[in-house]
Chain A
Amino acid sequence: MEVDKGKGEAEETRKVAEADRDTVTLKSSDGKLFEVSKEAAARLSTVLAGMIAGGSIDDNGTDLKQIGSEALENVVDYCNKHANSIPSAALISSSISFNTAPFKEPEEWERKFVDRLSHDALFDLVEAANFLGMERLLDVTCHKISEMMKGKSPDQIREVFNIKNDYTKEELEEIRQELAWAFYDD
C-alpha cells in the first residue's frame, strides 16, 4: 500500500498499522459492526478500495450510513464467499447497453446466494452493492431481478414486484387487445 509521504508521521504509523491488519470493519447504519477481509473488500468494491487506499478506513468501524445491517451482512457474506470461491474472470464490468453485455452468468454459488434472499433483502442488497461499487454483486443481483421479470404475465409481474394495478378493467382489456402479441394468450 502506498503511503502518502506528505502526511504526518503519526498518521503514517497509523496507516501502516492499519495496512497491516487484514480485515476492515464496517459499520452499518444502525451501528452493527462487520468484519471483512481487506483483500476481498478492495477487490470487490471500488468504493471500499478507494477508502482503503485513501486511508479513510476507521478501526472502530467504517461508517456506512447508507446501508442497513441486513444488507451489509449480506454484502460481507458475499465477500467472504467470494474469497473462498475460486476467483474468476467474472469481474467484468457490465454495461447497461444491450450491445455490450459481457455479463458472465452467475456462478452456482452466486445463484444460490441471491436465491436465498428475501425480496426485501435482495432490493436492499442491490442498493448496497450500487453504493459500494461492487460491480459483480450488482451484476448478480440485477440479473436475479431481471430473471424475476422474465416470461411472466403482467399479473404475475405485479404480484412479484407488488405493483399496483391502476388501470380500470376496460383499460386493461384494451391494453390486452392492443398488446396481444406481447401477452401470453395460452
Chain B
Amino acid sequence: MERSDWAQGLVPVTVTGQQLTRCDCSAGELQPSHSRTIENPYGHTRSLPNLRQTATAAEQLERNHKSWEMTGGTWKRGADHRRPTKLRSWGRREEQGRMARASRIAEAGASKTSKTFGNSAPLSWGWTVGRRALGAHRPMPGRGRPRDDGGKTLRGGGAASLFSPKPTAAKEAKDGGQPPRPRHRILGPTHIILLAVRNVRDALVLALTVDPGRLAWHTLCAAKRWQSCTDDIAALPEDILLEVLSRVGNIGDLFRFAATCRRWLRRFTDPAFLARLCPGHVQGHRARLLGFFSQETRFVLPRQWTARALAMETRMAQRVPVSAPSFLPTPGSPLGPAGGALTPFLAAAADDTFNYAEPLAARRGAASATHHHHLLGLCNPITGERLVLPPLECPDPGQCYDDIDSYAIITGADLNVEQKPTPSSAHFKFSQLIVTTTQINRNYVHLHSYPDATRSWSTPTVCLDGSRFSMIGARSAVVHQGAAHWLCIDHKPCPPRDDYLLYKLSAELGTATPRASLTNIPVRGGGSPYLSVTRDGELSVACVYRSHVTVWTQQGTLVTWLRTAMIRLPMAEPNLNFPPLCQSRGECTWLDFSRGSMLAFPRSGGVFVLDLEKKKMEKVMDSTLPLSSNERDSGARDGTCVPYEMDLVEFFVLGCLCESELLAAPGRRDDEWWGLGSDFKPPGAGSHFLHVSFKEDPRRRCCKCRPRFAVLLPRTHLLFCYKCLRQLLSLLVRVPAPSALSTIRFSDRFSFIILYIDASYRGECLILLPSWHVGSVVNSTRFLADFVDVSDRAIARSSLLKPRAQIAGPLDITTQEFIIIT
C-alpha cells in the first residue's frame, strides 16, 4: 500500500527551517536521497500519518505564528512566545508509542539543524508532487513582498528549488544585526511550501503555503478531500464521511461534531461540503424550506373584542388546550428527518411569555414573530435570541386594536438595498418590525414600526382607509427594494366582472416613523392575489384561480406590469388521499414563499410548492398541517403554520457562526485595525470601499486574529473573515454603495466572493477568490486559473488599502471581474 502510494511520482520532501531534504521513496520507505537529512519518523508508515503531520505542523505554525521570528537565517522565538506544543495526538492512542518516538526524532533532527529552533518539531513534513504536478502550480500570486523573489515559490523545477532561502531578506536581517521590526509581520524570508499528496487514487493535492511569520496557509489546489484533519474520521474518504454524517441525522449532533475542532467547523461551513451532505437540498425551492412552525387548535379569537371579551378570552384560553408552537421539519430538512430539532429549543425558549404564543411569521430564516394576545415577540430559533416587544400603543386612550392585520420582519439585509445607512446592520439581524392594525369601530388601518435601534414603537400612522380598501393576500409582507409591500383591493368600484382594482400598500423601511404609500397595480386582479418577488428580484403578483395561476410581473422599476406566466394547476391525483388541489379555492391555502414560488396547502393534506417560473408543482411533504392563519378570509383559525425557510448554507453559517452584537456602527472607526493609515479617508459615495467601523474593537474578541479575507455577501455586505472561522460573521460591514454592487449577478444560492485582504500585508494583497474557503471547494484547474487572473488584477488596484498611500480613487471592482469569478 505504501508503495502504491509513493510510486506514483510523489517526491517527499522534508523541510526544517530552511533545510530541505528530498527523500527517495522507491523502496517503499523513505530514504533520504540527498541534502541534509532528518529522519522521517513516519516514513515506513502509510501515507496518512505523514499527511496528518503535515497538517499538524502547519497548524502548529499557525498557532505559533507569533512566537517565531527569523533572524539572520535562524529561527528565534519571539517575545510573546508560547511553547510550541509537541507534535502529538495526531494519531490514535495505539500509535502514541510510535508518536513519542517520532517527536523524539523530530526534536533531535530539529536541534541538529538549528539550535534556536528549540524543542519545536520540524516545521513540516510534506510531500510534493513530481514535476508534472508542480509545473501545474503557479506561484502564489499577490504575496506582496516575497513575490519578487519567486524562486521559492513553485516553479516547474523539482521540489528542492522551491526552498532556496531568500537571499535579500536574510541579508537584510544580517546587516541590520537586529532585524528591523517588520512592518508587515513578514518575519522570515521563506515561504515554506508544503505539498501534501494523499495518494493518487484520490487525486488529492493539498498545497499549504506556510509563512511562519504570518498565518497564511492556503490550499493551492483544490483537493477532492480536505485531508488535513488530524483525527481518524477525517482520514475517511469524503464519500464515506458523507455517508456517515448523513446517518447522524440530528442537526444538533452535527453541530456538536462541527464544533470539535476548527477544521471540522471550517468544513461544515463549506457550501460544497454541505451541498454534498444534503444533495437533495440544494436545488429548487423545496430546498429552502426547512420546515414549519405550527401550532394546532389555536383558540378562536373573537373578531371584535372588547375589554370584556379580552378577559373572557384569557379565561377561555386557560381552558382550551393550546399547544406550544412546535417545529415540523420537512423531509429533506437538515433540521432532522424525524426529530424536529427546533421543537425542544422552542419549548426551552418558550418561557412564560411565549407559552402558547402563536407563530406569525418567519423571515430570512432567522427571525420569527410570535403573537400572544396582543403582545408581539420575536425570537430566533437558531441563535436563541428573544425579544418581547412592548405592547402596541394606541392613539386614542381607551381604545385597543382589534387585530394585527399584517406584519413584516425586516432584517439587516433588507435595509441596505437603497443605500440607506442604518445604525446597525447584519444580514440576519432583526432590524425592524412593521405591523398594521385595525382599530375597533374605526376603519383606519394603522401602521406601526418597531425599529430595533430605538427599541420602541413609533407613533402609528394611518396608512389605509378601511372603508374603501381592504388588505388581501398574505399577511406577511413582501420586502422589495427597501419597502414592505402588501396587497390591497379597492372595493368601491365593483366592476361587473370578477376583476378588481389592485393596489400595493408599501411601507418604507428604515425610517423613524413609517411612511406608507398606496400604488395602483395595473393588473387585472382576480382570484386570490398574492404578492411575491421573483428570482430576478422583480415584484410580481400571482393570482390564484381555481384551476390556474396567473403571474404578473413588474418590469423593472417601470409602471408596466406584464402577464408573465399562466400556470395550470394539476388536477386530481389518483391517490384518494389527495383530492384535487383546486377543487375550490377554500380548499387550498396558499402562501407566498421565497423567490418566485408559492406554497400550497390543500385541505386534503400535503404541502406543495409551486414554482412560478418553471411552472412546476412539487410535493414537499405528506403530512397535514394546521391551516395557515396567513389567509385573511377566515375569522376562525384552527391552527397556524409558518414556513421556516433558509438557505442551507445560511443555516449552517448562522448556526455555527452566529454572532450577536458585533456590528458595524458609525461613529467610530478603527483604521489601524484595517491597516489603513490615519490619513485614510473613506472614499466618497459611489465607491465600494470601504468605510469600516466597529462598534467594538474586534481585537477584543479575537486578539490573535486579523482579518484574512472578506466575503462579499449577496447584495450589500462585506463579511470579514478571521483566522478562526467561527468569527466569520463577526464583522459584517456594509458596502456603502450597494447599488453598484447590486448589478453583480449573484446566483440564487449564495455564491460567495472572497476578497482576500490579508492584514498582515497591510492590505496590499487583495485577491478575489471564487469560493468560500480559499480553494477548498473548487476544482484545481479552474481555481488556479481564476486565482491568478483575478488576483493579479485585483492587486493592481488594491493600492488603496496601503497605509498612507495616496488614494488615487475608489477601488474599482468592476462588474466584469466579479462575473469572471462567479
Binding site for B on A (CB under 8 A): 29, 65-66, 68, 94, 96-101, 103, 119-120, 123, 126-127, 130, 138-139, 142-143, 145-146, 149-154, 157-158, 161-167, 171, 174-175, 178-183
Contact = CB atoms under 8 A, between A and B. Distances in A.
A119 to B, nearest CB: 7
A166 B63 contact: yes
B240 A130 contact: yes
Interface in B58-111: 59, 63, 89-94
Given A146-B248, A171-B726, A180-B384, A123 B261 contact: no
A65 B700 CA distance: 53
Given A99-B332, A123-B236, A166-B262, A161 B231 contact: yes
B382 interface: yes
26 contacts: A96-B279, A97-B246, A98-B334, A119-B232, A120-B92, A120-B232, A130-B239, A138-B243, A142-B240, A142-B243, A145-B233, A146-B248, A149-B257, A151-B253, A152-B253, A152-B256, A154-B260, A162-B89, A162-B230, A166-B59, A167-B261, A167-B262, A171-B724, A181-B382, A182-B251, A182-B252
B327 to A, nearest CB: 12
A178 B383 CA distance: 7
A163 B4 CA distance: 28
B740 interface: no
A150 B256 CA distance: 9
Contacts of A178: 383, 657-660, 726
Contact of A181 (B1, B230, B262, B345): B345
Nearest to A158: B260
A186 B607 CA distance: 37
Interface of B: 1, 4, 56, 59, 63, 89-94, 201, 229-233, 235-237, 239-240, 242-253, 255-257, 259-264, 276-281, 331-334, 337, 345, 348, 382-384, 655-660, 702, 724, 726
Contact of B247 (A130, A142, A164, A167): A142
B259 A179 contact: yes
Given A162-B232, A166-B63, A96 B260 contact: no
Contacts of A94: 243
A94 B655 CA distance: 28
A65 B257 contact: no
Contacts of A68: 1
B246 A96 contact: yes
B233 A163 contact: yes
A163 B229 contact: yes
Contact of B232 (A65, A66, A123, A146): A123
A18 B675 CA distance: 73
Given A119-B232, A138-B240, A182-B255, A162 B246 contact: no
Contact of A29 (B1, B233, B256): B1
Contact of B231 (A142, A163, A175, A179): A163
Contacts, number: 158
Do most interface residues of chain A lie in helix, strand or loop, or is the interface mixed?
loop
Nearest to B336: A98
Given A100-B280, A127-B240, A171-B702, 11 more contacts: A96-B246, A99-B280, A146-B244, A146-B247, A154-B260, A162-B230, A163-B230, A164-B89, A164-B231, A167-B261, A178-B383
A153 B236 contact: no
Contacts of A120: 92, 94, 232
Given A119-B232, A142-B243, A150-B253, A164 B656 contact: no
B248 A150 contact: yes
Q: Which of A98, A119, A126, A146 has the most CB of B within 10 A?
A: A98
Contact of A179 (B56, B253, B655): B655
Contacts of B276: 96
B239 to A, nearest CB: 7
Given A96-B277, A96-B279, A146-B247, A101 B337 contact: yes
Contacts of A101: 246-247, 337
A98 B256 contact: no
Contacts of B245: 146, 149
Contacts of A162: 89, 91-93, 230-232
Contact of A96 (B243, B257, B658): B243
Nearest to A103: B247
Contacts of A145: 233, 244
A66 B92 contact: no
A153 B253 CA distance: 8
Nearest to B233: A161
B332 A149 contact: no
Contacts of A96: 239, 242-243, 246, 276-277, 279
A65 B63 contact: no
A140 to B, nearest CB: 11
A165 B240 contact: no
B386 to A, nearest CB: 12
Given A97-B280, A163-B233, A157 B91 contact: no
Given A94-B243, A150-B250, A162-B89, A127 B237 contact: yes
Nearest to B331: A99
A161 B244 contact: no
A153 B89 CA distance: 19
A11 B164 CA distance: 57
Nearest to B263: A166
Contacts of A161: 231-233, 260
Q: Which of B231, B244, B382 has the most CB of A within 10 A?
A: B244
Q: Which of A130, A164, A178 has the most CB of B within 10 A?
A: A164
A35 B71 CA distance: 62
A158 B658 CA distance: 22
